[in-house]
Structure 1
Amino acid sequence: MSKRTALAYVPPGSIVKVIDVSGGYGSIRRLYEMGIVPGSEVKVVFNSAGPTVLEKNGTRIAIGKGLAMKVIVEVLSHE
């Protein structure tokens, strides 16, 4: 069973698949440049106070909560 939610609400240790990215041109462009595109998989490393830290292909990426709210993901697994 899969669950879709905003990236800002996903607990650390989860592997997620990006379903949709919404927002203005600047927000979408910034996320796409970091590789956060529909169909990509990322691991949530840290997601409490402060920025959301993701790991993609061995690289850690930090995004603010505002951007994390614009990324809709499907939770694939949780450690």
Structure 2
Amino acid sequence: MHTIPSGNDQCHQERGPGQRLAMHIADETTLPLSLVEVGAYVRIVRFSGGMRSAHRLAELGLIPGTELTIITAHGGGMVIGIGDTRLALGRGLAHKVLVTFLERKQ
């Protein structure tokens, strides 16, 4: 994996062979999206799964830096909101998305 200087001591960008560029925020507490409560406002930090999962999430528009809200969470799945868009994710895929909490925008 290669580290690319970003000009910001708080951030670094990494890219491995055949991988897209991804930004990781240093010293940021993360947890799986599947464990976040309904109504929470979060930002995607990174993915814990392999390239197949990351590619599938990117196809859905979920990439590091995306901000979203948890709309509902029932049983194994959840519905998330990104602006006016709603997406349903299964528990397995949601568990591979690592997020950090954000303050609500006023």
Q: TM-score range by the shorter chain?
A: 0.7 to 0.9
Shift of 1:50: 3.0
Which residues of 2 match residues 34-73 of structure 1 at below 5 A? 34-73=60-99
Q: Which moved more, 1:63-72 or 1:46-55?
A: 46-55
> Residue 9 of structure 2 aligns with which residue?
none
Q: Point out where structure 1 has 5 or more consecutive residues left out of the alignment.
A: none
3-state DSSP class of the match of 1:47? strand
Q: Higher helix fraction: Structure 1 or Structure 2? A: 1
C-alpha contact 1:19 1:39 (8 A) present in aligned 2: yes
> Residue 57 of structure 2 aligns with which residue?
31
C-alpha contact 1:14 1:77 (8 A) present in aligned 2: no
TM-score (norm 2): 0.66
Cα deviation code 1:8-35 (max 9, x no counterpart):
0000001100000121222111101111
- Measured on the aligned residues, the alpha-carbon RMSD in Å equals 1.7
> Residue 7 of structure 1 aligns with which residue?
33
**Partner letter of residue 40 of structure 2?**
S
Shift of 1:4: 1.9
Give runs of ≥4 in structure 1 deviating > 3 Å: none
Shift of 1:48: 3.4
3-state DSSP class of the match of 2:30? strand
Cα distance change of structure 1 residues 25 and 3 upon mapping to structure 2, 3 Å threshold: closer
Q: Point out where structure 2 has 5 or more consecutive residues left out of the alignment.
A: 1-27
